[in-house]
Structure 1
Amino acid sequence: MATLPLTFSPSRLFHRHYGAKPQQPRLAASVPLLPRRGAASARRLYCTPGAGGGNEVSVPPPPVAEQQGEAPKEEDEYTLLAVTGSDFNEVIMIVDSPATRYLLLDTNRNVHSVLPKTGVWTNSYWDEFVSLPAAVPRGPVALLGLGAGTAAHLMLKFYPWLQLVGWEIDPKIIELSRDYFGLSDLEKETESGGSLSVRIGDALSPSATIEGGFTGIVVDLFADGKIIPQLQEVETWLQIAKMLMSDGRIMVNCGGADAAVSLADDTGPSSWVQNPTIKALCAAFPGQLNWKRLSEKDSVNYVALTGPLPNLDEWSTSVPIELSTKVKQWIPCELA
């Protein structure tokens, strides 16, 4: 029986998309299936009519179920809603489950966006972005690396007055996200006046800005499962900082460590040096950078925040209660 490839790879989970080198689209079915290591049992993925020929595919348990500490259920089923490609992504897949909808990109099937259906939170780095509006003056916020709008959904849920401007380089992703991830709903003005404005193009282009600048910028730019190399350069961050208003801040998904490390070895005041993006940020903003590392169940990504360390007690009382403890985990970058 023919199989359609799909892999949830823990080492590549929750990476975002940026301007990958243009590629000619090809059928996803021509890429070999690589089972996830340690998967206790496979689940079945059923293709909906028109999504890929009606193939039935064995896939490992979904990553989000593991991160939430829930044992995957034997009766879980995953439906392939769409599979295609574009000039920027050789493979684009929309996968559905009873609890979560996924956007998968790249031949490695990296999860780039999720849409929880039975709750609000993703239990991954996207949740951290919800704390940014409470740490900056009121004003527009940029999302550099929009994907299917996971961060935008969360931020407008808790700050319905927020004016978001999101950049995504792949128009096919925007098209699919409007159809399958409710992105078009975010583009409508809320009762409080907030909305998402979608911009298709290079998030690092000089034209990726607005008059007056942003009070906050979220940076989540990945290609082929890796943070784009420009974000490991000091000059890139100095240019992004020019997009900010006075007292504005940048919050960044910095990916993982440069090499595999255990959580026990990664809690010291200088352990951020294991991440090359944070090293570049620290050089660009000396004495004005903070970091934290998500716990292993929360995808072991580093996140960074520019500016002086906020008053953690005040910050914790101004964010949704689910984040009140998490914001107290931020610490300044300090050289050994």
Structure 2
Amino acid sequence: MDTVTPLTASLLRVRGHLFHRRRGRLHAKQHPRPQRRLTRTAGLHCAPEPDGGGAEVSAPPASAAVEEQAPQERPEDFMLLAANRSDFNEIIMVIDSPAARYLVLDHNRNIHSILPKTTVWTNSYWDEFVSLPAIVPRGPVALLGLGAGTATHLMLKFWPWLQLIGWEIDPMIIELSRDYFGMSDLEKATESGGSLSVHIGDALSPSATVEGGFAGIVVDLFCDGKVIPQLQEAETWLQIAKKLMPDGRIMVNCGGGDTEESLSSSWVQNPTVKALCSAFPGQLCWKRLSEKESVNYVALTGPLPDLDEWSASVPSELSTKVKQWVPCDLA
């Protein structure tokens, strides 16, 4: 019999943004500071080991209080498939649910990757990366911060000829991703010749490049639920840009705003976006995802693309979303 321990589902966060269940879908909610807990109890089942024994994990403490819960909302069960630690992450969990599988890291229990089961799309910033190949030259695309391969699944689904090259610093994450997130399949060539090449190491290392440069670079580098500090420095972005081929572009998950007030302000209070603007004055576009997605800021280097052409060249689910990009002009 499986061991059952309680889990507060609201402790699952995507890059620092609170995810909670409403009507069977995951939605992101920006939390003000100090952090406000929105909890509801769910059952966490530990998958049994092959010998019949229960998985040995340190379960998060049960939450007795339910501070906010939708009326008549039923708790949802989550299955803990794997729990481990590494030199880079003190907590690594693979959590399964009927709707999706999650890679959860660090004490804040941030979701670093999602593998949806009932749809292709994540309803979060990973979906934005699918639009990048339509506006860059033909060539290899780098993924700096591979995680369990959420962006890779999406990009190869719609652009099966892509040569994706991903960097992930934690070998344990790659091992679990091959076991639980289908990364091994991504490393095999598609019928159109596309595939993922995995590199374990520092994504910001000078060696993280290819001859001739990348057509595009996707940057999704976080630690403890925050964008890594190096990405808040203009010089870091200038070094990354040197790895592009002519007319190549960088697309970035910049995380959320510094404060609750910044979400309603007319310009972005986001240190990563400000560093990008400093590095690429007049050559940066940005957008903020909606609350139904993840309230993250995403950025794109280079001039604003022709939005009508871009809209016509991406999957229909993204055709309206790409028209929300605007030039970034921070005073």
Shift of residue 59 of structure 1?
7.3
Aligned to 1:296: 291
- Asked if the contact 1:254/1:304 (under 8 Å) is kept, the reply is yes
Aligned to 1:117: 117
Is structure 2 residue 204 aligned with structure 1 residue 209?
no
1:71: Cα distance to partner? 9.2
What's the offset of the Cα at 1:73?
5.8
CA distance in 1, matches of 2:240, 2:72: 41
How far apart, in 2, do the equivalents of 1:131 and 1:6 lie? 34
Residue 53 (structure 1) aligns with: 56
* Displacement after TM superposition at 1:313 (Å): 0.5
Classify the secondary structure of the residue corresponding to 1:179.
helix
The alignment's TM-score, normalised by the length of structure 1, stands at 0.84
Matches within 5 A, 1:86-97: 86-97=86-97
Per-residue CA deviations over 1:183-231 (Å, capped at 9, x if unaligned) read 0000000000000000000000000001111000000000011100000
Deviation (angstroms), 1:38: 2.8
8 Å Cα contact 1:148-1:183 kept in structure 2: yes
- Tell me which amino acid in the other structure corresponds to 1:220: D
CA distance in 2, matches of 1:332, 1:54: 47
Letter in 2 for 1:112: H
Matched residue of 1:297: which SS? coil
Query: Given that residues 95 and 102 in structure 1 are in contact (C-alpha distance below 8 angstroms), is that contact kept between their aligned partners in structure 2?
Result: yes
Preserved contact between residue 83 and residue 91 of structure 2 (Cα < 8 Å): yes
| Distance in 1 separating the partners of 2:164 and 2:190 | 12
More strand by percentage: 2
Partner of 1:146: helix, strand, or coil? coil
Q: Does 1:174 align with 2:169?
A: no
Measured on the aligned residues, the alpha-carbon RMSD in Å equals 2.6
Q: Does the CA-based 8 Å contact 1:129-1:218 persist in structure 2? A: yes
- Which residue is 1:286 aligned to? 281
Tell me: CA distance 1:233–1:55, structure 2 relative to 1, closer, same or farther (3 Å). closer
3-state secondary structure, aligned to 1:245: strand
Q: Partner of 2:15 in structure 1? A: 14
Q: Is the 8 A contact 1:44 1:58 kept in 2?
A: no
CA change 1:72–1:128 in 2 (3 A) is farther
Q: CA deviation at 1:335?
A: 3.4
CA positional deviation for 1:299: 1.1
- Alpha carbons of structure 1 residues 170 and 55: separation in structure 2 relative to 1, 3 Å: closer
- Structure 1 distance, partners of 2:235, 2:200, is 23
Change (3 A) 1:229 1:37: same
Distance 2:258 2:60 in 1: 34
2:312 corresponds to 1:317? yes
Please state how far the C-alpha of 1:260 moved relative to its aligned partner: 1.6
Summarize deviations over 1:275-332 as a string: whole Å, max 9, x none. Answer: 0101110010010000000111211110000000000000000000000000000000
Equivalent pairs: percent with the same residue? Answer: 71
Q: 2:322 aligns with which of 303, 327, 331?
A: 327
1:53 partner letter: E
SS at match of 2:208: coil
Question: Matches of 2:138 and 2:72 in 1, distance apart?
Answer: 41
Where structure 1 has 5 or more consecutive residues not aligned to the other structure, the ranges are 17-34, 61-65
Q: TM-score, normalised by structure 2?
A: 0.85
Q: Is the 8 A contact 2:6 2:43 kept in 1?
A: no
Cα offset, 1:135, TM superposition: 1.0
Letter of the structure 2 residue corresponding to residue 210 of structure 1: V
- In structure 2, relative to structure 1, the CA distance for the partners of 1:249 and 1:150 (3 Å cut) is same
For residue 108 of structure 1, report the CA deviation from its aligned partner. 1.4
Quote the offset at 1:37 in angstroms.
2.3
- Aligned residues of 2:4 and 2:43 also touching (Cα < 8 A): no
Separation in 2, partners of 1:305, 1:2: 44
Q: Which residue of 2 aligns with 1:164?
A: 164
Aligned mates of 2:169, 2:4 — CA distance in 1? 33
Aligned to 1:240, what secondary structure does the other structure show? helix
SS in structure 2 at match of 1:178: helix
3-state SS of 1:98 partner = coil
Instruction: Specify whether residues 279 and 3 from structure 1 end up closer, same or farther in structure 2 by C-alpha distance, changes over 3 A only.
Output: same
Answer with 73-82 or 234-243: which moved more: 73-82
Matched with 1:129 is 129
Contact 2:6 2:42 in 1 (8 A): no
